[in-house]
Structure formats: structure tokens, C-alpha cells
Amino acid sequence: MRFTITREKLQEGLTAVASTVPAKTTLPVLANILIETTDKGIRLSGTDLDIAVSTEVSADVDAQGAITIPAKKLAEIARELPPSPVKIAAAGEQRVTLDCGRSHFKILGLPKDEFPSFPAVKFKESWRVRAGDLRKLIDHTAFAVSTEESRPILNGVLWELRAELMRMVATNGHRLAKMEIPIATAGAPSSDLIVPPKALDQIRRLFPEDEELEIAKGDNHLGFRSPFTSVFTRLIEGPYPNYLQVIPKDNDKHAIADKVALTSALKRMSVIASDQTHRIRLSFNQALLKFSVQTPDLGEATDELPVRYDGDPLDIGFNANYLLEILRFLPTDEVKITMKAPERAATLEPEGWSDPASYLTLVMPLRLVD
């Protein structure tokens, strides 16, 4: 194998795949990047056995071949190279030379045969989705996944693909985020997939917004591909909880508040809130929302905010961190809050959002201790 590549193209390819390479592994070849020559240049691939990324970059190929090279060292070398053409050659199955200007390196690699093969995903029956739509769904839902290992199914994002729309839902049992976007995709059947957020981060990072992606499902894997880049991920198996059951249909108390002002007040109250529960009391009245927090051993605080509210006066407790997280992702200047009773789930939605997508978040209340 022998090829010449610009420093910029080499760095571009390494940046795309390096984040899938595990920092620690008991399988030495997983710390390497697979480099293969193609008709148009070279393909770089990396995997941690759960997620795999492969990308093609242009290069002048003199001799075909493939080899794996330590990812971390190759990235560090590429970062420090002068702005000159980079010549890489493999002598045998394990020795690699890299020349750039007056710099010369000899690196020990591992044979291609030791590198894990990518999942078998056939793209004959595939969905076609714009990367920008996918990124929008990911941005507004993935934050709500659970990080606790006791319920693995909640560690993933539910992705519902239908003929006319796609929907993503994520929850940790205390808060939930749901967004759906109308689409027109032909050919592929409806499907419910539970995708690890780490894989969705790769999708968000690698594909430009205007790129059309092909998406296909294998036995227990999902594949995403564009003309130059492919991502494969293991899916989380099992039935996702019926999230529709927890979304309230009869919340009859509505408040509309300025998002920035609400966020600021919650941040101020959070300073005094308990480090364990982050509990804050919200008292809704006709034109005013009052905040209060009392933490033994620390102190107390109050604040207030003008709001538009219809309904009887209501006192309700929330984890301030969950509210702040949701507010960070709401796309409008005003937020609509709906409630029923102190022990019932509340919803937060964008107010005055003229977008074809629909977005709903939910947060469970905390019991108030008087």
C-alpha cells in the first residue's frame, strides 16, 4: 500500500473516525484505525464494537492495500506535520512509513485481518432522511435519556419511523422529551428503534445538515450512510415503555412565561436548593409566579416573575435542574406550562412556534414538604 495525501485531508479523515476509538481496550486492534485504499482515495475506519464509523477522503494512490495504525499516535503526528504532502506506505503487514517534508516516521501497525468486520446492514430497503431533520430531533430529545444502568432500555432514544413522520422520544422516568417532524420517505417499512445517544452524537457531528442520509436496519444494527461516510450502531433491544400513558391529556391550568426570565429565576433559586433533590416550590397566581426554596442547614430564598396564567392558584414542586435542562432546548422566547394538580405531571411546550415540527416536554413534580 502506498499513497500521497494532503495534511488537511488526512486530518479530516482522522477527525471523523477517531472519536469511535476506545481510550482503553483489551483488544489491541481496537486502538487502531483501519486504512484501506479505494478507487478515489483512502477509507479510514474505527470502531469500539458498539459503534463503527467509516469515511472516505481523496488521495493519490500508487499501490493498493490496507493496514491498521494506532489511532492516537497517527492523530498526534498529523496534527504536528508541516503543510506539505504526506506520503504513507506499508511495507508488509505491520510496518508503516510516513514522510512529510523533512519529517520521517516508522510506525508499527497490525494486519487488516485482525480488525473487526462491520455489521451486515443491507441498504436495499432504506429510509431517506435529511441530516438536518435528524439533527433537529436529536438536539431536542437526547438530553432526556437516563444515565442509570438499572433500566437499560431508557439509556436509548426511541426513534419511531413512519411513512409521513419520524418521532424521537427520550425519558429517564422523571422528565421526557418528544419531537416529531413530517417527512416523505418511500420504500421502507414503519419501524421502532432504540438508539444509543452516543451513536446519535456521531450522526449529529459527522453529517452536514443539507446531506441526505440512507438509513437501514440489520439484525440488531442500524446503518447510516452518505456518499462518503457510514456509521453503524448496535441497537438497544427490548420494548420501550408506553410513553403516551404518562403524557397528560387533561391539564387545565396554563401559564405562559418569558423563557429567559424564567431560566434566570430558576438559576438564582438553585443556589439555595438542596444538592440532593434540587426542589423548588412554584406558586402560580393570576399574573404572578412566585418561587420559594427552603433548605435546612443552608437557608431560604424567594423570587417572583410576571406570567400569564389561567386557573386556580396552584403550588407545585419541581427539580430545578430538570426545568433548566428543558428550557435550554425550547426553541421559542416564551414557554407554555400546563398543569393539573401538585402530584400530576406538567408539560412545557414552545409558545408561538411556527415550525412544521411539534415538540413536547414533560416533567414529574416533587412532593412539597411544608
Tens digits of residue pLDDT in 229-275:
999 999 999 999 999 999 999 999 999 999 999 999 999 999 999 99
Distances (CA, A) of 101 to 58, 138, 207, 253: 20, 43, 32, 70
Would you place residue 43 in the very low, low, confident or very high pLDDT band (cuts 50, 70, 90)? very high
- pLDDT at 151 > cutoff 80: yes
Q: What pTM, to 2 d.p., does this model score?
A: 0.91
State the sign of the Cα–Cα–Cα–Cα dihedral 159, 135, 231, 166: positive
Verify that 254 and 235 share a domain, yes or no.
Answer: no
pLDDT number for residue 81:
95
Last-in-domain residue among 208, 243, 278: 243
- pLDDT at 321 > cutoff 80: yes
pLDDT number for residue 16:
95
Verify that 150 and 183 share a domain, yes or no.
Answer: yes
Find where cell 433537529 sits. Answer: 136
**Percentage of residues of the chain with pLDDT beyond 70:** 99
The mean pLDDT value for 213-223 works out to: 92
Q: How far apart are CA 177 and CA 340, in angstroms?
A: 19
Alpha carbon of residue 353 to chain centroid: 23
Verify that 108 and 155 share a domain, yes or no.
Answer: no
pLDDT number for residue 120:
85
Would you place residue 17 in the very low, low, confident or very high pLDDT band (cuts 50, 70, 90)? very high
Q: Tens digits of per-residue pLDDT, 110-135?
A: 999 999 999 888 888 888 999 999 99
Whether residue 165 lies inside any domain: the answer is: yes
Residue 251: domain span: 247-363
Q: For residue 15, what are the contacts with CB-CB under 8 A and spacing of at least 6?
A: 75
Angle, helix 7-18 to helix 71-80, in steps of 10 degrees: 150
Verify that 46 and 105 share a domain, yes or no.
Answer: yes
pLDDT number for residue 164:
87
Verify that 155 and 237 share a domain, yes or no.
Answer: yes
Distances (CA, A) of 276 to 143, 146, 247, 270, 295: 20, 17, 26, 11, 11
- pLDDT at 139 > cutoff 90: yes
The mean pLDDT value for 302-331 works out to: 96
Verify that 136 and 99 share a domain, yes or no.
Answer: no
Last-in-domain residue among 200, 219, 243: 243
Verify that 10 and 102 share a domain, yes or no.
Answer: yes
Question: How many domains, the chain?
Answer: 3
Query: In this structure, what CATH number is given to the domain that contains residue 223?
Result: 3.10.150.10
Q: Tens digits of per-residue pLDDT, 60-114?
A: 999 999 999 999 999 999 999 999 999 999 987 789 999 999 999 999 999 999 9
- pLDDT at 186 > cutoff 70: no
Would you place residue 369 in the very low, low, confident or very high pLDDT band (cuts 50, 70, 90)? confident
State the sign of the Cα–Cα–Cα–Cα dihedral 148, 152, 153, 156: positive
Verify that 89 and 142 share a domain, yes or no.
Answer: no
- With b for 16 or more beta-carbon neighbours within 10 A and e for fewer, the 265-284 pattern comes to bbeebbebbbeeebbbbbeb
Whether residue 23 lies inside any domain: the answer is: yes
Which residue type does 110 have? Answer: L
pLDDT number for residue 185:
66
The mean pLDDT value for 30-54 works out to: 96
Whether residue 123 lies inside any domain: the answer is: no
Verify that 149 and 211 share a domain, yes or no.
Answer: yes
